[in-house]
Copies of this chain bind each other. A is one copy, B any other.
């Protein structure tokens, strides 16, 4: 629970969600806990029913599966101003396979999905925010799926660099590689190849 006079969060919300009324922001902050976390802090452990959802104010959240060979496979890399939780748990009340951790120094608002759903019944703006968050998730997942089905690793790298340059400033090389569905060595090769090409063009 956050006291209503927390001006910092209120101001931040006004910037990120200008369509929210003051009342919307207060009722949203009421169900939230504010957290400042250090790099690599785990926010959802695997094999749990976690219906926690995170609104990222600063930093990046990574969600990954650990497969039967013990290899981590990054499925989510979410930047600031987006929301994320373990979808299998908060959408479907199942035990989640995912681990979620923060990358870099991170500021988050944490809330229970069921508390948030209750707010959508009271405020049209909050309902619209939920609907647009679902749409954004569908578009992001579809884009990821399309690129896994039809793009080469180099195209996927280039697309990510264009779309989400901030990830390259905060996320680790190995996490980006895993997110692109390739090994860290392949990612290094792609980057060297691109630097070479750039260099040759300049000459």
Q: Does A58 contact B (CB under 8 A)?
A: no
Q: Does A73 contact B (CB under 8 A)?
A: yes
Q: How far is the CA of A87 from the CA of B67 in the complex (A)?
A: 30
Q: How far is the CA of A20 from the CA of B173 in the complex (A)?
A: 50
Task: Specify which chain B residues have a CB less than 8 angstroms from the CB of A134 in the assembled complex.
Answer: 131, 134-135, 138
Nearest Cβ on chain B to A7's Cβ, whole angstroms: 33
Tell me the number of copies of this protein.
2
Nearest Cβ on chain B to A23's Cβ, whole angstroms: 20
Nearest Cβ on chain B to A73's Cβ, whole angstroms: 5
How many residues in A have their beta carbons less than 8 Å from beta carbons of B?
Answer: 24
Task: Specify which chain B residues have a CB less than 8 angstroms from the CB of A73 in the assembled complex.
Answer: 149-150
* Contact A150 B65, beta carbon cutoff 8 Å: yes
Q: How far is the CA of A138 from the CA of B142 in the complex (A)?
A: 9
- The 8 A CB mask of A121-154 against B (1 = contact, 0 = none) is 0000000001100110111011011101110000
- Give the one of A130, A135, A145, A181 with max B CB within 10 A: A145
